[in-house]
Structure 1
Amino acid sequence: MVLWTAFDALDDIADGDVQTRWPGFDPSELGVMASALLATTAHVIAHSLHDSPEVQAQLHLWIARGLGEMADGQIEDLDNARSSDVTSGRVFSSVAGKTGGECALFAGLGAVLARVSPERQRCFARLGFEYGMANQFVSDLAELSADPHRRDIRNGTRTLPLVWHVEMLERPARDAFVTLLESARRDAAAAERVREALLVSPAYRRAVLQVILHLGRARTALAESASSGPAAAQLAAFLDDVHPFGGR
């Protein structure tokens, strides 16, 4: 929970959602709080979770490595928001670090505490990574279909369905749509036009199929983890509860 809260706060700062999600806080105050949680509190808590120095060392290593991957993804996400020429490859790279890396970290930490083998730790981390990828793309789709504020579009966030749509367009239609995207950051009517175009685009359906692909990979990782009993059933049910059109 400590790590998730810090990650969530930093993401809200980057996306301009501080006043929506953290009313009364200044972005700089929230940034200091999140940094303190990541730099100190998380490691103090990790040290107290297990008596074994070996397990403690593994927890610290997973946290440090995971934070590095997530920072790379967040930086790339910021670069994508500032760029008018974002590729789907860059979107995948950003999501892999920022969201896939976060969920892989959480799953890996749990596997370390369960004292499973390094091979099984990697299986659980891969399960978490694929779940994170699927969940992020579900969130992007849900924002298009259900968020009345059109926050991703208004914030200039280059989500997968949006970028795929741009890549499918030929010039001059592509140039016109990119111009519309820039207008959408200031104009609610333009944002609605972007949304309407994406909801009927083949890119939207392609993103749904991408969610299904990542969920399939997560189930494969779960099978390869050799889990059994109630815990395995709960993890399988957790994956089954992710719906490409409607989140969890």
Structure 2
Amino acid sequence: MAPLSPLQARPTAHEDLARIESALRAAAITGDEFLTEVTSHLIPAGGKRLRPAFVIASALAGDSDGAAPDAVTDDMICGGVAVELVHLGSLYHDDVMDDAQTRRGIEAVNLRWGNLKAILAGDFLLARASELAASLGTEIAALLAATIGRLCEGQVRELQLIYDKSRTEDQYLLAIRGKTAELYATSCRIGGLVAGADSETLDRLTSFGLAYGMAFQIVDDVLDLVASDEELGKPAGNDLREGVYTLPVIRMLASAHPAGEDLAELLGEPLDDCRRDRARAIVVDGPEIAGAVETAQHYVAQALDSLASFDATPAMVGLRAAASNLLGTLPAAAAGRAEAAGASAS
């Protein structure tokens, strides 16, 4: 079981995720053979299925028998598929906006079938997610609908500042909260809701998911700068090329360091491969990568603090381990620079 999965303490986690996979494939089936082909395109390519795993783990968080094979109910699977469909639908739309060539190591939907079909297929996935949420009750339906709205708000906040070298850290954090962290928060809250958790538990699970999601997106943005194309399953440095200036870039541009001036001269417009690689090298060689990792560590600490009062049930152990292991996805060099920076600061 992957170290980021909150189901890592469940002996039958692979079977749980196989149920998610089967239900996800079924949910992508439409009344039209061609549309089914498009909506199902990314599913066989894989993915960590973290959001459904957070639904299940959150639902089992208070269950001391949460490691039992039959602990996962159909409602937990349904909630997990709903949030994963929202994630998939957002990827279809993201790839259109980014004019992406690949996704998860395969041809992007927009490249294979065109932007219009990719947008409509993404819309269908969001609609099917809403349908599944409605089957779980009005509270979950309203929650998922509001989350889709916040996801759109976060994406719009980002699009408004494409190629904007004056983008601030606060603007960045507000955008990633909407486009990424809110769906993790909702995943955890849906898990608590299908399990009948009390209001305090729901709020703590939601806070955990939100902080985890913030850390997850910062780490993902750092990976776009420091990882390889093969590790990412898509071209590295694509955020720089597309004018999405993430936390390390924002901080370097705001610094008084000469490297910030060199970076500013390159940015503000679309980049070819050569200029993208130069910009990427400037950021990777600076201290801002380590600083961004430290910020992610701060959010991980917030996430863990949200769960501090809970008993160590199997699912709770998995939730805590997923957050604790998040920074381990970074290449050793990036994580090492962050540790060194933290040690020197102390």
Contact preservation (8 Å) 1:208, 1:244: no
Candidates 215, 219, 238, aligned match of 1:151: 238
**Which residue pairs with 2:192 in the alignment?**
111
Unpaired stretches in structure 1, ≥5 consecutive residues: 50-55
Give the Cα separation in 1 of the matches to 2:102 and 2:289. Answer: 27
Contact 1:130 1:217 in 2 (8 A): yes
- Is the contact between residue 208 and residue 245 of structure 1 (CA under 8 Å) also seen in structure 2? no
The residue type equivalent to 1:163 in the other structure is I
Tell me the CA shift for residue 123 of structure 1.
1.1
> Counterparts of 1:179-194 in structure 2 under 5 Å?
179-182=265-268, 185-194=270-279
The 2-side partners of 1:222 and 1:233 are apart by: 10
**Pick from 90, 98, 104: which aligns with 1:15?**
98
Instruction: Give the drift of 1:241.
Output: 1.9
Task: State the alpha-carbon separation in 1 of the partners of residues 260 and 85 from structure 2.
Answer: 42
Bigger helix fraction: 1
Other structure's SS at 1:115 match: coil
Distance in 2, Cα, partners of 1:67 & 1:227: 32
Question: Is 1:66 aligned to 2:133, yes or no?
Answer: no
Q: 1:191-222: per-residue Cα shift (whole Å, max 9, x none)?
A: 12211111122211110100110100010112
User: Scaled by the length of structure 2, what TM-score is found?
Assistant: 0.64
Alpha-carbon deviation of 1:227?
4.9
* Distance 1:212-1:158 versus aligned 2 partners, 3 A rule: same
Deviation at 1:173, TM superposition (A): 6.8
In the other structure, the counterpart of 2:118 is 30
Which of residues 270, 284, 301 in structure 2 aligns to 1:199?
284
Alignment of 1:1-248 (within 5 A): 1-17=84-100, 19-21=101-103, 22-23=108-109, 24-38=112-126, 40-49=127-136, 56-148=137-229, 149=235, 150-169=237-256, 176-182=262-268, 185-224=270-309, 226-243=310-327, 246=330
Q: Compute the TM-score of the two structures, normalised by the length of structure 1.
A: 0.87
Structure 1 consecutive aligned stretches of length 4 or more whose deviation exceeds 6 Å = none
Residues 227 and 79 of structure 1, relative CA distance in 2, 3 Å threshold: farther
SS of the residue corresponding to residue 223 of structure 1 reads coil
1:163 Cα offset (Å): 0.5
- Please tell me the residue identity of whatever aligns with 1:106: S
1:150-198 alpha-carbon deviations (Å, 9 max, x no partner):
211111111111001101136x875553230246x33222212211111
Provide the rounded CA distance (Å) in 1 between the counterparts of 2:259 and 2:326: 34
Shift of residue 121, structure 1, vs aligned partner? 1.2
Alpha-carbon distance, 1:2 to partner: 1.5
- Identity among equivalent pairs (%): 25
SS at match of 1:81: coil
Q: Which runs of 5+ in 2 are unaligned?
A: 1-83, 230-234, 332-346
Distance 1:162 1:11 in 2: 21
Asked if structure 1 preserves the Cα contact closer than 8 Å seen for 2:150 and 2:182, the reply is: yes
Number of residue-to-residue matches in the alignment: 236
Q: CA RMSD in A?
A: 2.1
